[in-house]
Amino acid sequence: MGIQQVVFFCKAPLESGMANTVQSLQMARAMSAQSKVLVLAASKTPESAGKKIKLILGNEISFSWDVSSNPFPVRIIQLAIWLYRQKRKSQLVITRSALIAILVLLLRQRVVLELHSDTLSSNAALTKLMSAILKSNWGRGIFKVVISQALGDLLLNKYGFSSNIVLHDGWSASGGLRRQSLLKKAKNKRHLVVYTGKISPDRGIAQILLLAKRDPYSKFLIIGGSLIECRHLRIEAASQNLSNVRFYSYQRSSRIAFLQNKADILLAFWSHRVPTMDYCSPLKLFEYMSTGNKILLHEFNVFKEVIFSSPLINLCEPEDADSEYDKYFELKERAISNEDIAKLADYSASFSYSNRAKNLWMEINKDLCSL
């Protein structure tokens, strides 16, 4: 029997706006092109859930949802009862929780476990039990997705189980590629350097301020973080007499995309202090590549999985001011062709949610055929 419905089980409440929930909603919309989709999530009320989903996705909602205000343990029981009642139907459940994946397998439904970190549980005993199940013959019935080959290798070494497929985090290509005709219409009067993302101390913000000090003729925009974080950084920039740096708190996605597109150089800075640096999937980098603009990227091994040799991308040593400075000015002066721009923008499409959903659907069906 073919899959009749894909079910996304979201652990975090919709109102939290956490990345794992937002990304699950993006995937749910993309998967709806392949199958009927239902999202099971936590929310205060159905009305607030609907507002949050529309805020994240706009009006392009092509799936149904069912929400509960109950705590996570109660929702697990609700899921078990719901799946038991649906046992005559062929469901495919997609979850980021190893515990939920094992429960679904117990109830004889197909399940995809998306692993975005090397942690299975905060409880050591439960982690030991789940890792034993996941590497057993029975646990092979769970289709395991990892967001990087580095994470797949880490999980194999740490817990002894292999993944079925590597699928890097997706990005929403609904706007970026359509804007390509507008990107190069007019050059900025002042060279524009843009950073978008978290602005916590482990994200290389101090390094950006150093670049701004060494290039006072360019304008730097740093976008992300809370109002309090931005206020502290404005005070820091003022103490260094940096008049060419502007800080903005969280912006709507369309505004971020506009500024990314308008930039002359995009900064993709992290640091060794980011806990997931060894295996993360760089969503921001995919968005950057879609603009066809120049990118200065910190050189971490995991990024080599997703970039190709392009004159638009320069790699620099993280937290090395001289390397960042040299590679920045080299990139700034580099001449770029329209062919280079188009090639980088087109390449980014392979990491879209739409493409990610197609690849997942294809691999799942291959796996079902082999059973």
Both tokens of 169, joined, read 């985090």
Tell me what pLDDT residue 87 has.
Answer: 76
- For residue 155, the SS3 value is helix
pLDDT number for residue 57: 87
Per-residue model confidence (pLDDT) at position 160: 96
> In this predicted model, what pLDDT tens digit does every residue of 143-169 receive, in sequence order?
999 999 999 999 999 999 999 999 999
Q: What is the pLDDT, as a whole number, of residue 204? A: 84
DSSP string of 9-75? E--S-GGG--HHHHHHHHHHHHHTTTS-EEEEEE-S-HHHHHHHHHHHHTT---SEEEEE-S-HHHH
CA distance 147 to 117: 8
Per-residue model confidence (pLDDT) at position 185: 47
pLDDT of residue 370: 55
Q: What is the pLDDT of residue 198?
A: 86
- Residue with tokens 């073919």, as numbered in its chain: 2
Domains and CATH numbers, the chain: 5-170+352-370 (3.40.50.2000), 177-351 (3.40.50.2000)
**Contact at 8 Å (CB) between 48 and 73?**
no
For 288, phi then psi, to 5°, come to: -60, -45
Low-confidence ranges of the chain (pLDDT < 50): 175-183, 185, 371
What number of other Cβ atoms are within 10 A of residue 2's Cβ? 8
Whole-angstrom Cα distance, residue 176 to residue 266?
A: 14
CB 209 within 8 A of CB 246: no
Contact 95, 114 (CB under 8 A): yes
Token pair listed for 344 = 């980088």
